[in-house]
Amino acid sequence: MNGTAHMALGAAVGFLTANTLQTDPTTTLFLVGVGGVSGLMPDMDIDGKLSNRITFSHKFIRTLAQTIGILMIIYSVLEGSETEKWVGVGAGIGIIIISTFITQRHMLTLTGLGVLGGGLSLQENWLWLLGIYIILASFTPHRSYTHSIVGIVFFGVIAHQFESSLGIEGIFTTCILGYISHLIADMKFLPFNRRGVKLFLPFFSKEF
């Protein structure tokens, strides 16, 4: 199932939750948005649809880093003292070499580190936990741990902290059901799915 369908399912969950709780229009709209994002969260893993949308293209970052490296070399040669020239040229070459190894996974990891740092700085538990989730997801294959009960539990902890932080009833329910809707929509019993989800990782690798 594509990302738009997953987001729509999650948004529907948010709307149903809001309708059940009889929330005001603003809260309803908020829960619909939270549900839509939650419906995409399992695809935060490597090659997942969401992971490619929250990060800059690794090709863009690679080109940017290489440009910075070249400019550093030129500046060091033209403006630096004898020692500074060698240091600057060496640093520039180092940046260019390192940039060739940048992949999309590295970008996802860096995004997670940024979210983690932001959460710690703001002292928001849900935010730094989300950062850890993104970092861990950057090292897991697609449709593995983020598509399992382990992923549901971890995201549930984030959702609980998120609801506690904002004090809006329905966030936890929306997040959990939105997340689960993604896993159900990816299961093999649906005819359009060639692959299923490994719900019981790391204990069993059978696809459902």
Question: Which residue would you say has higher pLDDT here, 81 or 144?
Answer: 144
Burial of 113 (0-12, 13-18, 19+ CB in 10 A): middle
Mean pLDDT to the nearest integer, 131-155: 91
> Please, which pLDDT band fits residue 58 given cuts at 50, 70 and 90?
low
Name the residue with tokens 């060698």: 86
User: Cα–Cα distances in Å, from 53 out to 40, 57, 98?
Assistant: 11, 9, 23
> Please, which pLDDT band fits residue 53 given cuts at 50, 70 and 90?
low
pLDDT at 64: 64
Q: What are phi and psi of 48, to 5 degrees?
A: -75, 155
Q: Say if CB 172 and CB 163 are below 8 A apart.
A: yes
Question: Which residue would you say has higher pLDDT here, 152 or 4?
Answer: 152
pLDDT at 48: 54
Give the sign of the dihedral formed by CA 74, CA 76, CA 80, CA 86. negative
Average pLDDT, the chain: 85
Give the sign of the dihedral formed by CA 37, CA 38, CA 40, CA 46. positive
Q: Say if CB 192 and CB 184 are below 8 A apart.
A: no
User: In this model, does residue 57 exceed pLDDT 80?
Assistant: no
The domain spans of the chain are 3-51+105-185, 58-99
* Residues 196-207: tens digit of each pLDDT: 888 898 888 888
User: In this model, does residue 52 exceed pLDDT 70?
Assistant: no
Closest CA relative to residue 186, chosen from 140, 136, 148: 148
CA terminus-to-terminus distance, the chain:
15
Give the percent of the chain with pLDDT over 90.
Answer: 40
